[in-house]
């Protein structure tokens, strides 16, 4: 009895799916207004893809800015703990020796 009920359920589900696919095909392939419906569906799909792309781009930019801010904060904290005064940390002088002497 239980197996028979499962078979009826599968048969009903397959019938409903076939009915839905047929109705969708009829709706989109209608010779009178199917072109307009297909265009509308395509524009909605493209708009949704663009919205998702914009949201992902904005989120990526936000995360990048947060990472940069964290790096600057960490560099500032490290500078307070370990000052950049040693000779190994100094920037070498720019220009030639004559330009530095004249300048």
pLDDT tens digits, 2-20:
666 667 788 888 989 999 9
Full-model pTM? 0.48
Residues 6+ apart with CB under 8 A from 38: 28
Q: Where are the domains of the chain?
A: 1-30, 33-83
Top mean-pLDDT range of 12-16, 27-31, 79-83: 12-16
Residues 6+ apart with CB under 8 A from 95: 103
pLDDT tens digits, 31-70:
888 888 888 889 999 999 999 999 999 999 999 999 999 9
Task: Give the integer Cα–Cα distance in Å for 93 and 103.
Answer: 12
Measured from the Cβ of residue 25, the count of other Cβ atoms closer than 10 Å reads 11
């Amino acid at each position: 009895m239980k197996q028979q009920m499962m078979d009826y359920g599968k048969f009903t589900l397959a019938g409903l799916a076939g009915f839905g696919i047929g109705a969708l095909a009829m709706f989109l392939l209608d010779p009178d207004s199917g072109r307009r419906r297909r265009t509308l569906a395509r524009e909605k799909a493209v708009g949704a893809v663009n919205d998702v792309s914009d949201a992902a781009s904005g989120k990526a930019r936000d995360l990048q800015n947060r990472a940069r801010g964290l790096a600057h904060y960490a560099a500032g904290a490290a500078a307070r703990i370990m000052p950049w005064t040693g000779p190994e940390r100094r920037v070498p002088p720019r220009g030639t020796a004559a330009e530095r002497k004249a300048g």
